[in-house]
Amino acid sequence: MLKIEHLKKRFGNQPVLDDINLAIDKGEVVCIIGQSGGGKSVILKHVIGLMIPDGGRILIDGEEISSPTKKPSDFEKVRRRLGMLFQGAALFDSKDVGENLAFPLREHTDYSEQKINEIIAEALEMVGLQPSFRLKMPSELSGGMKSRVGLARALVMRPEIMLYDEPTSALDPIMTDKINDLILSLRDRLGMTSVVVTHDIASAYKVADKIAMIYEGKIIFAGTPAEIRASRNPYIQQFIRGQRKLHYVAGAEPDESPGLSRQFDVTEIRQRLTLDRKLRRDRSFDAAARDALTGLMGFQQFSTVLKDEIERSMVEQDPIALALFGIDMLEEVGDRFGQQFCEVVIREVGRKLSLSTRGADSAGRFSSDEFGLILTRIQPEVLATTVEHVRKRLMEISIKAPDGGYLHPAISAGACMCSETCASADVLSHSAGQALVRAKQNGGNRVEVMELPKSQ
Amino acid sequence: MNPLARFVSRVGAAGISAAANGTVFLRHVYRMAALLVSIVSRFPLMVKNVPLSIEQMYGIGIDSLPLVSVIAVFTGATTVTQAVYQFSGFIPLKYLGLAVCKTLITEIGPVFTSMVVAGRIATAIAAEVGAMKTGEQLDAMTCLNLDPVRYLYVPKMIACMVMMPLLVVWSELIAFISSILTVVFSVKITLFVYFTGLRMLFNPWDLIIGVLKTSVFGAIIALTGCHFGLETRHGAEGVGEATTKAVMTSFVLILIFDFIIAFFVF
């Protein structure tokens, strides 16, 4: 129904859209996701004629509606088929809700006031608002209510395609869910085609039939929510997991059609969602289960998370590894400066470790002088360098000793990849422990990587 | 850097800065002219949206009455007081009415009232349009096929052009009453002498031009308000900047057009 072909737009010397291609079928809900300032809203503004493209074109039912040769006045006819909900709803401040809704009807139709009132009441009912809301001023409404009224205002003209610009960006989770339900109900009730621009990945999963991700002015992915979750494209994973940085990802090249070749069945997707929920629950902050000295997860909680991560890695075929870090010669340090100073060293190493991990990785205190780190989405060929990188960061610590000097603790590390045959957290912990022992036996202050035993 | 090179560098920098400011000035002139053309070209459509103009007239005209009245009271009183002081010893007070009349109806009444209204209305229009722009309300209007020029700017301009002359008539009336009261209580001439002076050399054309030119001032107030509102950038800070520019520009333009009208008409 709506087709965007090779859309290009520059603001000054800054290219914002660079060859955007997207096809949207009738009755489909398509979410366009991407980082803030990535050009998502610019796409919508081109569709509705608020901007004229520098290149490419946009078609509705095969008819070209936007191209560099079109003028703003050419959009009057096509805008009757489109509705738009703006980020802050963009209600007219000087008019009450009823006047906001009646304004386009009075100007573009010959309806009687009675008919207009009926349409307004119906639109308010569709968005779940009482008819009494029509007398309220926009300043009296909450963010969620404003969004609903904005939606109702767009609905009174009965558009075929609804464009949503960040409809849930400033809303609390409950109101976000209500707006998402509203988008779905409009699709089901009116068969409306919807294009939703958002960076709220949870909302996109909920409402989208298809998700398109924009990156550096291009659509780098277009597929179902299940497909985007399975994508191995590092940028997509970084975005949907909300990670701050791209780390440790082998082969971090954008894949043109990531995940599209994989097929999933419903059971597998349900299993994955269940695992995700479980992981989120278990990872929630539980003060009692945390190590009092370092603030990291204690051994028991760390083991539970490790088991869950192994399960998830099996289902998603998402490689993980376990690295153990040990403080070399801690006993000697204790003998020289006392147990209290040892605790200071352990606390500082734990704090540094928590600062050196990615958002999706999990760190915990494994034993008195050992720390564990679960590395997710890690490839075997970069494991050693990654662990060495973290080890070096831990060794940046400088602690003032009681004798006035500064202690730079030496750290040994052992790591083990969780291969496809890895079915037990104990086996993985044992192998990583053996690697750590070997690192210490070989003089310490180094990294050793071990493979899982073949029999496992 | 040697002194010659420093001098050339400073002159060059000043030249570049002047060129940049000149470009900005010309851009404003062009955009204001284009906006004026687009507003005027939509005047005929206004017959379909008379209530919008009436709504604006109420806000611009009726709501300005208290401010204009207070200003007019002191304008009338000050004019008399100043005239008496300037006349003393040189000009007979029988000409007091003549001086007050000419001053109030040709310049002080129209220009002073327009500037006071500009301070209130040009800022209000710039703030409203600026907030609507940054809040995407103008885009929302466009998406609903509601032309902002027709539904927003034209009513404001018509309201300003209609209400300014009425406000000036009201203002001059109040100023004259105030001047009479000042004469009664503080000047040693009779009301008969003062009224004789008022009627002396009274030319209705002065009054008509004085009132009608405020319609032009009204258009200036609406145009600068809309233009700088549309130029608003960067949220609340930008709105503040737009209002300041709107009121300053409207003051300057009012004085420039007052001179042009005086030059060609009188």
| Inter-helix orientation angle A143-155/A173-190, to 10° | 10
B151 touches chain A (CB under 8 A): yes
Of the candidates A50, A80, A153, which has its C-beta nearest B142's C-beta? A50
Q: CB of A24 within 8 A of CB of A75?
A: no
CB contact under 8 A, A88 and B139: no
d(CA B179, CA B105): 13
pLDDT mean over A88-95:
88
Q: CB of A22 within 8 A of CB of A30?
A: yes
* Mean pLDDT of all residues belonging to chain B: 89
Phi, psi of B11, rounded to the nearest 5 degrees: -60, -45
B140 contact residues in A (CB cutoff 8 A) = 84, 86, 90-92, 150, 153
CB contact under 8 A, B151 and A107: yes
Which secondary structure element, helix H or strand E, spans residue A108, and what is its range? helix A97-108
pLDDT at A87: 84
User: What's the gap in Å between the CA of B140 and the closest CA on chain A?
Assistant: 6
Of the candidates B128, B135, B142, which has its C-beta nearest A88's C-beta? B135
Chain A residues touching chain B at CB-CB below 8 Å = 45, 48-50, 72, 76, 79-80, 82-84, 86-88, 90-94, 103-104, 107-108, 150, 153-154, 157
Which secondary structure element, helix H or strand E, spans residue A353, and what is its range? helix A339-355
Residue-wise pLDDT for B159-214, tens only, equals: 999 999 999 999 999 999 999 999 888 887 888 888 888 888 778 888 899 899 99
* Mean pLDDT of all residues belonging to chain A: 82
pLDDT at A247: 42
A157 contact residues in B (CB cutoff 8 A) = 144
| B83-142 residues touching A, CB cutoff 8 A | 128, 131-132, 135-137, 139-142
CB contact under 8 A, B145 and A87: no
CB contact under 8 A, B139 and A83: no
pLDDT at A297: 83
pLDDT at A273: 60
d(CA A38, CA B36): 36
Q: What percent of chain B has pLDDT over 70?
A: 100
Q: What percent of chain A has pLDDT over 90?
A: 17
Tokens of A259: 């995940």
Between residues B217 and A94, the one the model is more confident about: B217
Of the candidates A45, A84, A103, which has its C-beta nearest B146's C-beta? A103
A72 contact residues in B (CB cutoff 8 A) = 142
CA atoms within 13 A on the CB side of A198: 30
CB contact under 8 A, A90 and B131: no
B233 contact residues in A (CB cutoff 8 A) = none
Residue-wise pLDDT for B226-259, tens only, equals: 999 999 887 777 888 899 999 999 999 999 999 9
Residue-wise pLDDT for A230-266, tens only, equals: 777 777 877 877 765 554 444 444 444 433 334 445 5
Q: According to the 3-state scheme, what is the secondary structure of chain B?
A: CCHHHHHHHHHHHHHHHHHHHHHHHHHHHHHHHHHHHHHHHCHHHHHHHHHHHHHHHHHHCHHHHHHHHHHHHHHHHHHHHHHHHHHCCCCCHHHHHHHHHHHHHHHHHHHHHHHHHHHHHHHHHHHHHHHHHHCCHHHHHHHCCCCHHHHHHHHHHHHHHHHHHHHHHHHHHHHHHHHHHHHHHHCCCCHHHHHHHHHCCCCHHHHHHHHHHHHHHHHHHHHHHHHHHHCCCCHHHHHHHHHHHHHHHHHHHHHHHHHHHHHHHC
Task: Tell me which chain A residue has its CA closest to the CA of residue B48.
Answer: A107
| Residue pairs spanning A and B at CB distance below 8 A | 53
Range of lowest pLDDT (A210-224, A234-248, A420-434, B94-108)? A234-248
β-bridge mates for residue A22, sequence order:
A4
d(CA A330, CA A334): 6
Range of lowest pLDDT (A34-43, A168-177, A213-222, A391-400)? A168-177
CB contact under 8 A, B143 and A108: no
pLDDT at A43: 92
Between strands A447-450 and A411-418, the pairing is parallel
Interface test with B, best of A84, A141, A146 (most B CBs within 10 A): A84
Q: What is the DSSP letter of A132?
A: G
Q: What percent of chain A has pLDDT over 70?
A: 87
pLDDT at A263: 43
CB contact under 8 A, B143 and A82: yes
pLDDT mean over B204-225:
92
Nearest in space to A435 (alpha carbons), one of A422, A421, A420, A417: A417
* DSSP result, A247-292: -S-TT----SSTTTT----HHHHHHHHHHHHHHHHHHS--GGGB-T
B145 touches chain A (CB under 8 A): yes
Q: What is the DSSP letter of A71?
A: -
B142 contact residues in A (CB cutoff 8 A) = 49-50, 72
d(CA A434, CA A452): 10
B146 contact residues in A (CB cutoff 8 A) = 103-104, 107
Range of lowest pLDDT (A105-114, B220-229, B251-260)? A105-114
pLDDT mean over B85-113:
86
* A258-263 CB contacts, 8 Å cutoff, 24+ apart: A258/A221, A258/A231, A258/A232, A258/A233, A259/A221, A259/A223, A259/A227, A259/A228, A259/A230, A259/A231, A259/A232, A259/A233, A260/A223, A260/A227, A262/A227, A262/A230
Q: CB of A217 within 8 A of CB of A39?
A: yes
Range of lowest pLDDT (A379-393, B28-42, B212-226)? A379-393
A80 contact residues in B (CB cutoff 8 A) = 145
pLDDT at A257: 40
pLDDT mean over A39-58:
90
Taking 90 as the threshold, does the pLDDT of residue A454 lie above it? no
| ipTM for this prediction | 0.75
d(CA A98, CA A226): 41
pLDDT mean over A346-362:
80
Between strands A210-215 and A218-223, the pairing is antiparallel
CB contact under 8 A, A76 and B139: no
Nearest in space to A435 (alpha carbons), one of A398, A377, A391: A391
What is the CA A318 to chain-centroid distance, rounded? 17
Residue-wise pLDDT for A277-290, tens only, equals: 555 555 554 555 67
CB contact under 8 A, B135 and A93: yes
Residue type, A414: G
